[in-house]
Amino acid sequence: MMAHGLTADGTAKAHLLEAFWKSRRRRAVADRFVVYSLVACAGLVLVPLFSILVHLLSQGAGAINWDFLTHLPKSVGEKGGGMANAILGTLVLLGIASGVGIPIGLGTGIYLSEYADRRFAQSIRFVSDVMNGIPSIVYGIFAYAVLVLPMKRFSAASGGIALGIMMIPIVTRTTEDFLRMVPSALREAALALGAPKWKMTLDVVLGSAKGGIVTGVMVALARVAGETAPLLFTAFGNRYWSFRLDQPIAALPLQIFAYAISPFEDWHRQAWAGALVLIAIVFVVNAVSNYFVSKQSTLYAKKR
Amino acid sequence: MMVIAIVAAIGWTLFSASWPSIRAFGLSFIYQTRWDPVFENFGALPFIYGTLLTSFVALLIAVPVGLGTAIYLAEYAPGWMRKSVSLLVDLLAAIPSVIYGLWGVFVLVPLMRNHVQPFLSKTLGFLPLFQGPAYGVGFLSAGIILAIMIVPFIVSVSREVILAVPPVFKEAAYAVGTTRWEAMRSVILSYGKAGIIGGIILALGRAIGETMAVTMIIGNNVTMSASLFSPGYTLASVIANEFAEAATDLYLSALIEMGLILFIVSIVVNIAARVLIWSVTSKSKIMAVRA
C-alpha cells in the first residue's frame, strides 16, 4: 500500500478502492461460508436423533404386542414372552424413589425460596447443582455400600432409594424456581389477613405454584425412569414377578441392557420394544411437563 | 441442609468403603497398569486412560458441532426453526443412556466396522491412531456416542451465554462495518468465552461419568492402546461390569475407589464449570442494570 501511495495519488486511490472491494468480497464470502457450516452443524446434531427414533419405531413397533406388555420373560431359547414384570418393576422403583425424593426435594425447595437468607440459599443451590452432575453410577455405589452390604442382598428398596436421591436436586431446583415466580403481592395479601407464615406458605404459595411443582416432580421422574447404572447392583433385575421390597426387582432399563448385550435375535427385538416403551414414557412425561411450564408462565405473565 | 448432608455422606461412604484399597495401593493405584483380580493386584491407569481418551474424542467432535449449532440458533435461525430445533435438542438430552447404548450396539457399531473404520484406516492409516483391526467397538465408537450425548449440554449452555451478551456490543461492532460473522467472533465469542468454556467443562463432566452407553460399545478390554479402534475400558464401565461379581473385599474396594475418583473429579469439574458460567451471566446482569 505504502509503495503505491508514493507513486501517484490517483493510482493509489484506485488501488486502495480495489483492495477494499476485494477484502469486502472475501469477508462476505467468509460470512456466507460460516452460515452454511453453522447450518450443517445444526443438521448434524439432529441426524443421530432421527436415526434413533427411526430405528426405535421400525424395530420396536413390530415387537410390541399384547404378550410383550402382559407376560413374563420366557427362558433362554424360547420365543415370545414379554417384559411385564420389568414395566411393573420400574413403576415400583419410581414409587419408592418418589417417596424419598419428593418430600426432601420439596422441603429443600420451599425452604430455599421462602425461608433461607440469600447467601445460604445460594450456596445450597450451588451444592444441589453440583449434586446433579455427580455420575449416576456413583449413586449406585453409595446405595450399595449403605443398603445392600448391610442387608446382604440386592433389593428393590436400595434401587428405589438410589433413584430417589438422584431426584432430589431436580425437584429442589424446579420447586424453588416456581415458588419464586409466585408474585410477592399474593404473599403480602395473605400475611396482611393475619395468616401465619407457615399457613401462607402452604396455602397461598404452594397452591398457586402447584402446576410448576408437579412439573418438577415429573421431570425428575422422567430423568430417573431411564437410569440403568444406579440399578445394576442395587435393584439388580429379576426374571419373575416381585413385590417385596427386600428382594431384587426387574426394571425396564436393566432388561433392555441385558437383552441388548445378549446373543439372541429374539431378545434383541424385545430390547428395541422395551426401549420404545421406555422412551414413550419419558417423552410423554416431558411433553406434559412442558405444557404445564408454558401454562404456568403465561398465567403469571398475565397477572403482572 | 439435607442436600449438603447427602453429598457429604456419599463422599464419606465412598471413602471409607475404598479405604482397604487406598491403604493397600496408595498412590500407585492411579499409575499402575495391572488389573488382576486373581492375584488382587489393582491399578486403575488403563481405566483412567480410557475415560480421558473417550472424553477427549467426544469433546473434539461435540465442541465445534455444538458451538456451531448454538451460534446458529442464537443468531441466525428464524424463530420457528429456533424453537423446533431447540425442542429437538432437548429431546436428545432426554433419551436415556441405555437407549443410546442399544442404538450404538445395533446401528453405530456395524456402521463403524463396515464403513467408517475401513475408510479411516485406508486414508489416515499411517497414523497410529487409526491402525489395527476394525472391530466396530472401541474408543472411537464410545467417543462418538459420548459426543452425541453431550452435544445438547454444550448447545443449551452456549446458547444461553450467547443470548446473555448485551446487544449494544454487537451493534457497536456492526456500526464499524463488520460482517455478521466478524461481530460474532470478535465480540460475542470473546465476551462469552468463560461461559462457553464452562459449558464445555460441564459436558466433560457428563462424558467422564457416563456409564451405560459406553459400557455397551467400548469393548470392555483392559488395554492402553494408542489406536482409537482398539477396544478399551473406562472407570464407569469397569464398575458397571465387574461390581456385581467382585468376589473379594479388596476387589470391591478397588472398584469403589474408582467410584471415589469419579465422584471427586465430577465435583471439581462441576464447581469449575458453574463458576465460569456464573461469571458471564452475572456480568451481563450488572451490565443490564447499568444500561
Rounded to 5°, the CA angle A28-A30-A33 comes to: 110
Chain B residues touching residue A124 (CB < 8 angstroms): 1, 3-4
3-state secondary structure chain A: CHHHHHHCHHHHHHHHHHHHHHHHHHHHHHHHHHHHHHHHHHHHHHHHHHHHHHHHHHHHHHHCCHHHHHCCECCCCCCCECCHHHHHHHHHHHHHHHHHHHHHHHHHHHHHHHHCCHHHHHHHHHHHHHHHCCCHHHHHHHHHHHHHHHHCCCCHHHHHHHHHHHHHHHHHHHHHHHHHHCCHHHHHHHHHCCCCHHHHHHHHHHHHCHHHHHHHHHHHHHHHHCCCHHHCCCCECCCCCCCCCCCCECCHHHHHHHHHCCCCHHHHHHHHHHHHHHHHHHHHHHHHHHHHHHHHHHHHHHHC
Q: What does the pLDDT read at residue A5?
A: 45
Domain ranges of chain A: 2-63, 67-303
Q: What average pLDDT does the segment B25-30 reach?
A: 81
pLDDT band for A97, please (50, 70, 90 cuts). very high
Confidence of residue A304 (pLDDT cuts 50, 70, 90): very low
- Give the per-residue pLDDT at A77: 61
CA distance A268 to A275: 11
Q: What is the pLDDT of residue B137?
A: 87
CB contact under 8 A, A278 and B99: yes
Q: Are A30 and B179 in contact (CB < 8 Å)?
A: yes
Minimum Cα–Cα distance from A256: chain B residue: B98
Q: Where are the domains of chain B?
A: 2-290
For residue B278, the chain A residue with the least C-alpha distance is A126
Task: List CB contacts (< 8 A) between B147 and chain A.
Answer: none
Question: A182: how many CB neighbours lie within 10 A of its CB?
Answer: 21
**What is the mean predicted confidence (pLDDT) over B111-116?**
88
Amino acid B263: pLDDT: 93
| A45–B3 C-beta distance less than 8 A | no
Backbone angles phi, psi at B42, to 5 degrees: -125, 125
**Structure confidence at residue A26 (pLDDT):** 86
Label residue A99 by pLDDT band (50, 70, 90). very high
Answer whether A130 sits within 8 Å of B209, measured CB to CB. Answer: no
Length of chain A in terms of residues written? 304
A215-239: pLDDT as tens digits:
888 888 888 988 888 888 888 777 7
CATH of B2-290, one of 1.10.3720.10, 2.60.40.10, 3.20.20.80, 1.10.357.10: 1.10.3720.10
Of A107, A108, A229, the CB nearest to B211: A229
What pLDDT was estimated at residue B291? 45
In chain B, residues with a C-beta closer than 8 Å to the C-beta of A30 are: 179, 181
Indicate yes or no: CB of B243 within 8 angstroms of CB of A41. Answer: no
Q: How confident is the model at residue A1 (pLDDT cuts 50, 70, 90)?
A: very low
pLDDT tens column, A19-59: 888 888 888 888 888 889 988 988 898 999 999 999 999 88
Query: Which one of A21, A24, A41 would you mutate to disrupt binding with B, by most B Cβ within 10 Å of its Cβ?
Result: A41
Q: Which residues between 95 and 154 in chain B have a beta carbon less than 8 angstroms from any beta carbon of chain A?
A: 95-103, 105-107, 148, 151
Chain A partners of B107 at a C-beta cutoff of 8 Å? 51-52, 55
Under CATH, to which class is A67-303 assigned?
mainly alpha
User: What pTM does this model have?
Assistant: 0.87
Question: For residue B268, what is the nearest residue in chain A, using CA coordinates?
Answer: A130
